[in-house]
């Protein structure tokens, strides 16, 4: 196929067993499993396809239209929703009126491959206790809805190992003292460490903390037909130009397309699920040419993010399709980020390598231990792009010409900072939710998603507890001064979880443990929308893990482990 084709993969398929809405890690994982076992799969995505030859088995394919262009990716929003024509709205509480903000809210890439295209694909596993917080702390946190997952770490561990192989994860077995049991090592050893994170990691050791190579779906060696990472520095927030990042597009989705059983339709936007009784009969879509069509399959899978999944269910039914529990759209979780920045005398060369090469889980915490409240994994990073520095930190007198060039070369700030980001777990709350804004529509005239979200003392107290410790770590590493960055009034985190909670009781959940809707027999959700809690870890690996298990049960009911590759 050529890059201009509206259909990628086997264009001759006209009858589909399964239709998947969204090609990120949750959708592509399901597509790979089902196509591998002979089912005819249709994947649609609202975003464009920036890979050429995604369905071409030839060596060197696919190629990409991404480039190391900070202006294109960071400032002109090549792969993000345009907040002018596709905004979201926000309010902290119902009492704030219909909305307090319209624009970019929890913005996430809109492209084939989903958010993992621009992410630096950090892939730690969740801890075993992360699946049991309903039992461990649920009764002690007021106004929160902590619940146990209906599946536990021991059941997921084989799927974790499978997911690491499929997307290609580098890491060091045994390096993280808080990691759950593993059945085997990582597929690849850690890549080259960055100077800044290594400097902070050494300081952590001197403080009695353990910093270790961050598990990441980035090739440290040639792997599965993909080149080794060349540490170009354009990792987080950029599409990889050599496919070293294990984006779902070039790993899972590509494998599905190469079976001949999968068809991908980019720039095809789902706008309504049609239902008769308790069965989905088709999906109304807006095709690339702007026409409206209805696509059909036997089964349907939602995997378009926790926000867009819920929005589509409300676009399909005013009360929320599949919403007998009243929980569709509720319990939205985002991860409560705590970031501290240290400024050093020396250059740390944050532009040379991946976004981060080290992490510590010493601030993840322990359930019910007041001396170690539940926070999250801490990413040890350094620097950001020169254009971001220029736009953010210089005034109009130096924004153009020789003075700007001199400032970028000297980089008084960007090249001399190290940052620590704690991916703090936020408490699920029924009041934190997604619904439709009653007065704002997008470019197609459809109501936009409205986010109602306010932080809970559970996560703000963890921030207050750990922020001074993070500052101490940077000072120990040699920072001349350090500060905690302020939190945003409007949430910008792109770790989106909850809204379609899974569980065993239809009265307190939307789907079962395999993502199948309690109310609608042929509808599933397989991204992080179904998670009861969000943990304090980056979500991509667990999305692939859980989605693979869900797909496995679609192929082998009761025996999903049969889809795991040796």
* Better-scored residue on pLDDT, 81 or 522: 522
pLDDT of 409 reads: 73
* Confidence tier at 395 by pLDDT (50, 70, 90): low
Q: Three-state secondary structure along 385-446?
A: CHHHHHHHHCCHHHCCHHHHHHHHHHCCCHHHEEEEEEEECCCCCCCCEEEEEEEEECCCCC
pLDDT of 108 reads: 85
Question: Lowest-pLDDT range, 17-31, 347-361, 391-405?
Answer: 391-405
* Confidence tier at 1 by pLDDT (50, 70, 90): very low
Q: Which domains, ranges and CATH numbers included, belong to the chain?
A: 1-63+107-168+238-330+434-447+498-566 (3.50.50.60), 172-213+336-424+454-490 (no CATH)
Question: Lowest-pLDDT range, 35-44, 60-69, 214-223, 513-522?
Answer: 60-69
pLDDT tens readout for residues 332-373: 999 999 999 999 999 888 878 888 899 999 999 999 999 999
pLDDT of 396 reads: 60
pLDDT of 237 reads: 81
Question: Lowest-pLDDT range, 214-223, 332-341, 406-415?
Answer: 406-415
Q: Which residues pair with 502 in a beta bridge?
A: 511
* Confidence tier at 391 by pLDDT (50, 70, 90): low
Cβ neighbour number for residue 165 with a 10 Å cutoff: 18
pLDDT at 416 over 60: yes
What does the mean pLDDT of the chain come to? 93
pLDDT tens readout for residues 234-265: 888 888 999 999 999 999 999 999 999 999 99
* Confidence tier at 3 by pLDDT (50, 70, 90): very low
pLDDT of 168 reads: 98
Q: How far does CA 366 lie from the centroid of its chain?
A: 24
Task: Give the tokens for residue 51.
Answer: 């890979």
What percent of the chain stands above pLDDT 90? Answer: 81
pLDDT of 398 reads: 60
* Confidence tier at 4 by pLDDT (50, 70, 90): very low
pLDDT tens readout for residues 299-311: 999 999 999 999 9
pLDDT tens readout for residues 108-152: 889 999 988 888 999 999 999 999 999 999 989 999 999 999 999
Nearest to 41 by CA among 53, 25, 27: 27
Q: How far does CA 206 lie from the centroid of its chain?
A: 33
């Amino acid at each position: 196929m050529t890059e201009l084709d509206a259909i990628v993969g086997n264009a001759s398929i006209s009858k589909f067993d399964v239709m998947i809405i969204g090609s990120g890690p949750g959708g592509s994982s399901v597509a790979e499993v089902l196509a591998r076992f002979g089912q005819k799969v249709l994947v649609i995505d609202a975003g464009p396809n920036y890979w050429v030859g995604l369905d071409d088995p030839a060596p060197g394919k696919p190629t990409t239209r991404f480039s190391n262009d900070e202006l294109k990716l960071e400032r002109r929003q090549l792969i993000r929703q345009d907040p002018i024509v596709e905004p979201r709205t926000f309010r902290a509480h119902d009492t704030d009126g219909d909305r307090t903000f319209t624009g970019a809210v929890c913005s996430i890439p809109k492209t084939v491959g989903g958010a993992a295209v621009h992410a630096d694909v950090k892939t730690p596993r969740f801890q075993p206790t992360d699946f049991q917080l309903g039992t461990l702390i649920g009764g002690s946190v007021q106004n929160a809805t902590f619940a146990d997952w209906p599946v536990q770490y021991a059941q997921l561990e084989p799927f974790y190992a499978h997911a690491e192989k499929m997307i290609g994860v580098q890491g060091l077995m045994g390096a993280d003292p808080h990691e759950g049991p593993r059945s085997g090592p990582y597929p690849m050893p850690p890549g080259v460490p960055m100077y800044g994170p290594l400097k902070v990691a050494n300081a952590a050791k001197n403080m009695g903390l353990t910093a270790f190579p961050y598990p990441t779906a980035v090739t440290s060696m040639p792997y599965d037909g993909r080149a080794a990472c060349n540490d170009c520095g354009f990792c987080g927030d950029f599409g990889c130009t050599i496919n070293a990042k294990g984006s779902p597009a070039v790993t899972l989705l590509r494998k599905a397309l190469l079976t001949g059983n999968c068809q991908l339709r980019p720039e095809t936007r789902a706008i309504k699920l049609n239902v008769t009784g308790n069965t989905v009969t088709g999906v109304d879509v807006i095709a690339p040419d702007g026409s409206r069509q209805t696509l059909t399959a036997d089964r349907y899978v939602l995997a378009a993010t926790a926000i867009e999944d819920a929005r589509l269910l409300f676009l399909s039914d005013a009360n929320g399709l599949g919403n007998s529990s009243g929980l569709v759209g509720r319990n939205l979780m985002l991860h409560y980020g705590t970031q501290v920045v240290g400024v050093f005398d020396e250059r740390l060369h944050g532009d040379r390598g991946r976004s981060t090469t080290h992490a510590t889980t010493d601030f993840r915490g322990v359930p019910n231990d007041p001396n170690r409240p539940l926070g999250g994994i801490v990413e040890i990073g350094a620097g950001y792009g020169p254009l971001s520095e220029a736009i953010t930190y210089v005034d109009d007198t130096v924004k153009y010409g020789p003075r700007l060039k001199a400032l970028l070369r000297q980089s008084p700030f960007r090249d001399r900072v190290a940052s620590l980001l704690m991916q703090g777990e936020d408490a699920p709350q029924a009041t934190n939710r997604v619904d439709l804004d009653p007065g704002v529509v997008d470019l197609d005239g459809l109501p936009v998603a409205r986010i109602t979200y306010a932080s809970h003392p559970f996560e703000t107290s963890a921030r207050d507890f750990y922020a001074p410790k993070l500052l101490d770590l940077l000072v120990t590493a040699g920072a001349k001064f350090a500060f905690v960055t302020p939190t945003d009034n409007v949430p910008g985190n792109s770790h989106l979880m909850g809204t379609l909670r899974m569980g065993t009781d239809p009265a307190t959940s939307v789907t079962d443990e395999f993502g199948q809707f309690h109310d609608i027999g042929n509808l599933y959700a397989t991204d992080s929308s179904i998670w009861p809690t969000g943990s304090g870890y980056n979500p991509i690996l667990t999305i692939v893990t859980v989605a693979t298990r869900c797909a496995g049960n679609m192929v082998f009911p009761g025996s999903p482990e049969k889809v795991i590759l040796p």
